[in-house]
Amino acid sequence: MSDQADIVIIGGGIVGCSVAYALTRRGVRNVLLLERRAIASGPTGASAGILSRCYQHPTLVAMAEHGRDFYARCEAHTGRSADFVRSGWLLIGGEAQAPHPRTAWSLQRAAGLSCAWLSPADIKTLEPRIEVEEDAVALYLEDAGYADPYSAAHALAGAAREAGAAIAEHTEVAGIETDGQGVCGVRTRTGTIATRTVVNAAGSWADRIGNMVGVTLPIETSRHQLVGLRRPSSFGPGHPVIADPANMVYLRPEGRDITIVGSNDPKEARNLVDPDRCPVGADPEAALVQWQRACARMPALAGAGMVRGWSGVYDISPDGFPIVDGPLGPQGFYCVTGLSGRGFKFAPAIGRIVASLILDSSPDPWAEMFRLGRFDAGVTIPAGVFWGGTRQA
Ligand SMILES: Cc1cc2nc3c(=O)[nH]c(=O)nc-3n(C[C@H](O)[C@H](O)[C@H](O)COP(=O)(O)OP(=O)(O)OC[C@H]3O[C@@H](n4cnc5c(N)ncnc54)[C@H](O)[C@@H]3O)c2cc1C
């Protein structure tokens, strides 16, 4: 590992890898990414990788679509696949509670993106195996789906490495050094790397990295659990991703016959944990509840078998949207965190934003809404899509 870099990135999750990729695409070669464990070994590796784009702000819709499109064509961009699957994405709920989905629907139509508003009969035609209430409506994105976050992070890291970046795994950052001009070095157990630019992309640990230079980042970390079910052979072919606020779950297919069930229970957001002490597995009781809730929407899953349960942490900001800003504190210190359980889809756009903050005199127009100062100024980003009190995207 070299003892000097033009830009040091801390964190090898999807965001750090995306920043490394974006910087090398902008022509910066001497980039060093430091990851204390292995690429995508943290929350990125635990992610469901769902690529929806239902938000109530046109920039968020555009950024989510940028992510979907990037992963869908990851091989053309990076030479490696992100295993994107265009399964379709269905958000189903009661008509009376639908103002947020309606806004999300109209924003997508306005952006020229495919987005259908379905009646109960349409929903049944699309997916006959799901239970549909009389007052149900659904929003359907036929070009959405999911990708594999582990493959995607490695695709971005690999392409960055080929373009000149260095990736140092198993290298924990222990401190950041500053002088009168700003940041001047990053300390690891094996030595100090001289640099004038540091990107803190440490996700749920970003507040600790911020503390090293006196920058306070308002993030909390909460535990989220996923369960993998093997569908019975009688179930038939796969299904679209289903976001189901009434039952507080989302379902996404995996491979030939697996359905992953995640929780949208608002109680989970209050399940705060130390990211270093979060259990890797799922609690059997929680897994059972998620399975039962999934069966309420898709009764044929009652015949499934549970194959795996796991947990990951969300880095939650006060408004549930990313903090992307810099320089913050000392000159040359940039931060990206608080992706709040939505970061996989936004990571390609965020890489682009961070590169722009560092390299351009007038940053990317997408950058402005993610500044840290919005919390003190009371300017928060419009909420994600809520339906009956449950966050969907
Ligand atoms: C269960 C679950 C399901 C999810 N599902 C979805 C989804 O369907 N769609 C979606 O868009 N998003 C989803 N997300 C959110 C998304 O996965 C995350 O927002 C995203 O992966 C965060 O990436 P990151 O790079 O910011 O952070 P991380 O993946 O947390 O990466 C940060 C890295 O920094 C490293 N690090 C920390 N401290 C140091 C240090 N001192 N020195 C060096 N390295 C350090 C860590 O080891 C870690 O690898 C989900 C998340 C979870 C947990």
Report the number of distinct structural domains present in the chain. Answer: 2
Instruction: Assess if residue 373 is contained within a domain.
Output: yes
Residues 139 and 230 in one domain: yes
Chain mean pLDDT for the chain: 94
Residues 139 and 165 in one domain: no
How far does the centroid of ligand 1 lie from the alpha carbon of residue 342, in Å?
10
For residue 359, the Cα-to-chain-centroid distance in whole angstroms is 24
Amino acid 387: pLDDT: 55
Amino acid 99: pLDDT: 63
Residues 153 and 139 in one domain: no
Q: Tell me the per-residue pLDDT of 34-69, one tens digit each, with 9 for 90 and over.
A: 999 999 999 999 999 999 999 889 999 999 999 999
Residues 294 and 244 in one domain: yes
Residue 390 host element (H or E): strand 390-391
Residue 382 confidence (pLDDT) above 80: no
Q: How far apart are CA 183 and CA 328, in angstroms?
A: 11
Amino acid 384: pLDDT: 64
Amino acid 70: pLDDT: 98
Query: Is residue 88 lining ligand 1, measured as CB closer than 6 Å?
Result: no
Amino acid 101: pLDDT: 78
Residues 238 and 351 in one domain: no
Amino acid 29: pLDDT: 93
Atom number, ligand 1, closest to the C-alpha of residue 339: 19
What phi, psi does 69 have (nearest 5°)? -65, -40
| Average pLDDT for 65-92 | 98
Residue 380 confidence (pLDDT) above 90: no
Range of the domain at 96: 87-143+220-314
Whether 258 contacts 229, CB under 8 Å: yes
| Average pLDDT for 28-33 | 97
Residues 381 and 353 in one domain: yes
CB-side neighbour CA atoms (13 Å) of 154: 11
Residues 309 and 227 in one domain: yes
Which structure tokens are listed for 387?
């339906």
Instruction: Assess if residue 392 is contained within a domain.
Output: no
Q: Tell me the per-residue pLDDT of 310-339, one tens digit each, with 9 for 90 and over.
A: 999 999 999 999 999 999 999 999 999 999
Q: How far apart are CA 252 and CA 153, in angstroms?
A: 20
Residue 104 confidence (pLDDT) above 60: yes
DSSP summary character for residue 40:
T
Question: Candidates 33, 36, 61, 173: which one to mutate for ligand 1, based on the most atoms within 8 Å of Cβ?
Answer: 36
Residues 137 and 207 in one domain: no
How far does the centroid of ligand 1 lie from the alpha carbon of residue 14, in Å?
7
Amino acid 244: pLDDT: 93
Q: For residue 351, what are the CA distances in angstroms to 44, 66, 321?
A: 15, 11, 15
Residues 325 and 369 in one domain: yes
What is the radius of gyration, based on Cα positions, of the chain? 21
Q: Using DSSP bridges, classify how beta strands 7-10 and 198-200 pair: parallel, antiparallel or unpaired.
A: parallel
Amino acid 388: pLDDT: 56
Residue 356 confidence (pLDDT) above 80: yes
Query: In this structure, what CATH number is given to the domain that contains residue 337?
Result: 3.50.50.60
Q: Tell me the per-residue pLDDT of 243-262, one tens digit each, with 9 for 90 and over.
A: 998 899 999 999 999 999 99
Q: For residue 252, what are the CA distances in angstroms to 89, 176, 321, 356?
A: 9, 41, 23, 34
